[in-house]
């Protein structure tokens, strides 16, 4: 006789998943895939099975998303579904400005909260949301997806094996050309380029760099950031020309605990000539590594060439040849799905989950300090949030 299975069905309110990120990464590549695989295995005969309901303001978009995903349940009434005790988790992928009110409502209704970043437009609100959830006694988490990217996981394994020796510096290059919309349609939403709609690459990307740096290389102690709005006009989704009031590029230098220096260029106005849309170059006393989203290359001290500066002759060294690709030693899942599974285990089985709204508040803090640095044209210290 086959052993019976214990199935923990978890109702999840998925709000704002009609947007690009919510649809692709959170719904289709995370929750739908978890359902397809039969749930999250937490024991020999025990699984967690998500049971989502789609929430949005546009019923036509919801119907299309329902057909695409196979998720039948949907509603345009967030308040109604918040009052339904069946749903244990509230997930928010709305635009940043709408998030705070919904998270407050969810905590008041006793829902566990999981949300996209930035969790708020300013640090004070972000900390308030953390405290609201703590006071309500609900579990909470923030999406910090890049920690589970295969390239960064390979980099982390190198660090765990002391490949680098003492880490000296980290250089991040992120971005690509986002079309303005005059001839070629834009591939990002127009609100990203309007400050009044909480747009801007600093608020968007420095939240990412905070958790990447804090978790892998050392706590961020200070920042100098220079933002820019390189493209002054773009075309929105309705074909209307609008003025760009938010930054589309950021050039930031960070000091980390332990003396590591990090510099990240983030831009939606750059053309890519590197290994990937995001690359991290880490230099250490024993070796260096460069990772993209999926791959990682290393150069050990013993394989490091000895160039001599001579601009009068072609360089005799092919600098790419001295690097070795890290082989595939593990199978890596979709980064968003990996964190979703950890959060579901946290909710149902009380397994540890340290990527809370407090960590999300730290990301907002760094973005806010980056904007402050840009405005003051000065170095800004990062006070510790506890």
Least confident range of 4-8, 161-165, 216-220, 365-369: 4-8
- The DSSP bridge pattern shows strands 6-15 and 241-243 to be unpaired
- The Cα-based distances of 139 to 130, 160, 345 in angstroms read 10, 30, 11
CA angle 214, 215, 220 (to 5 degrees): 10
What pLDDT sits at residue 4? 82
**Taking residues 307-315, what's their average pLDDT?**
93
- The angle that helices 201-216 and 357-376 make with each other, rounded to 10 degrees, is 120
Domain range 146-332+364-381, its CATH number among 1.25.10.10, 3.30.360.10, 3.40.50.1000, 3.40.50.300:
3.30.360.10
How many whole angstroms separate alpha carbon 175 and alpha carbon 248?
A: 10
Residue 352's SS3 state is coil
Mean residue pLDDT across the chain:
96
Token reading at 76: 């345009």
Using one digit for the tens of pLDDT, what is the confidence trace for 244-253? 999 999 999 9
DSSP track, 54-112:
EE-S-HHHHHHHHHHH----EES-HHHHHT-TTEEEEEE-S-HHHHHHHHHHHHHTT-E
* CATH superfamily of the domain spanning 6-144+336-355: NAD(P)-binding Rossmann-like Domain (3.40.50.720)
What pLDDT sits at residue 3? 66
Bridge partners, 375 (sequence order): none
How many whole angstroms separate alpha carbon 229 and alpha carbon 238?
A: 22
Reported as a pLDDT band with limits 50, 70 and 90, residue 2 is low
| DSSP secondary structure letter of residue 245 | -
What is the share, in percent, of the chain residues with pLDDT greater than 70?
99
Phi and psi at residue 381, in whole multiples of 5°? -75, 150
How many whole angstroms separate alpha carbon 72 and alpha carbon 327?
A: 41
pLDDT of 1 above 60: no
| DSSP secondary structure letter of residue 23 | I
- The DSSP bridge pattern shows strands 261-267 and 167-175 to be parallel
pLDDT of 204 above 70: yes
Contacts of 336 by beta carbon, 8 Å cutoff, 6+ apart: 25, 26, 29, 30, 143, 145, 148
Please return the burial class of 128, using the count of CB atoms within 10 Å of its CB with bins 0-12, 13-18 and 19+. middle
Nearest of 11, 64, 18, 25 to residue 333 by alpha carbon: 25
Give the residue range(s) of CATH 3.40.50.720 domains in the chain. Answer: 6-144+336-355
How many whole angstroms separate alpha carbon 185 and alpha carbon 194?
A: 18
Task: Evaluate whether 332 touches 148 at the Cβ level (below 8 Å).
Answer: yes
Task: Evaluate whether 259 touches 157 at the Cβ level (below 8 Å).
Answer: no
Give the residue range(s) of CATH 3.30.360.10 domains in the chain. Answer: 146-332+364-381
Using one digit for the tens of pLDDT, what is the confidence trace for 144-161? 999 999 999 999 999 999
pLDDT of 95 above 60: yes
How many whole angstroms separate alpha carbon 43 and alpha carbon 385?
A: 36
Q: pTM of the full predicted structure?
A: 0.93
How many whole angstroms separate alpha carbon 335 and alpha carbon 355?
A: 14
| DSSP secondary structure letter of residue 274 | S
Token reading at 3: 């052993």
Asked if the peptide bond before residue 170 counts as cis, ω within 30 degrees of 0, the response is no
């Amino acid at each position: 006789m086959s052993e019976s299975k214990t199935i923990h069905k978890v109702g999840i309110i998925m709000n704002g998943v009609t947007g690009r990120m919510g649809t692709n990464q959170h719904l289709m590549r995370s929750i739908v895939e978890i359902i397809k695989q039969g749930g999250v295995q937490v024991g020999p005969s025990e699984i967690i099975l998500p049971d989502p309901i789609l929430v949005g303001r546009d019923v036509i978009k919801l119907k299309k998303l329902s057909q695409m995903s196979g998720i039948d349940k949907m509603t345009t009434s967030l308040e109604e579904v918040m009052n339904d005790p069946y749903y244990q988790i509230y997930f928010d992928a709305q635009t940043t400005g709408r998030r705070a009110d919904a998270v407050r409502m969810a905590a008041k209704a006793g829902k566990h909260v999981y949300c996209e970043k930035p969790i708020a437009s300013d640090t004070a609100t972000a900390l308030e949301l953390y405290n609201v959830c703590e006071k309500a006694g609900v579990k909470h988490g923030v999406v910090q997806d890049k920690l589970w990217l295969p390239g960064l996981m390979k980099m982390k394994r190198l660090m765990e094996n002391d490949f680098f020796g003492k880490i000296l510096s980290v250089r991040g290059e992120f971005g690509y050309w986002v079309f303005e919309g005059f001839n070629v349609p834009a591939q990002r939403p127009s609100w990203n380029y309007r400050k009044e709609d909480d747009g801007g690459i600093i608020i968007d990307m420095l939240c990412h760099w905070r958790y990447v740096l804090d978790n892998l290389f050392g706590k961020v102690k200070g920042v100098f950031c220079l933002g820019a709005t390189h493209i002054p006009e773009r075309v929105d989704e309705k074909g209307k020309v609008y003025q760009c009031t938010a930054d589309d590029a950021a050039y930031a230098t960070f000091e980390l605990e332990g003396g590591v220096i990090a510099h990240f260029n983030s831009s939606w106005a750059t053309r890519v000539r590197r290994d990937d849309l995001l690359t991290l170059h880490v230099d250490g006393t024993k070796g260096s590594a460069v990772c993209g989203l999926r791959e990682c290359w290393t150069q050990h001290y013993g394989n490091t060439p000895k160039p001599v500066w001579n601009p009068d002759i072609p360089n005799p060294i092919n600098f790419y040849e001295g690097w070795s690709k890290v082989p595939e030693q593990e199978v890596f899942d979709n980064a968003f799905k990996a964190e979703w599974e950890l959060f579901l285990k946290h909710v149902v089985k009380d397994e540890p989950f340290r990527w809370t709204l407090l960590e999300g508040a730290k990301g907002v803090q760094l973005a806010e300090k980056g904007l402050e640095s840009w405005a003051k044209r000065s170095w800004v210290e990062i006070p510790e949030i506890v």
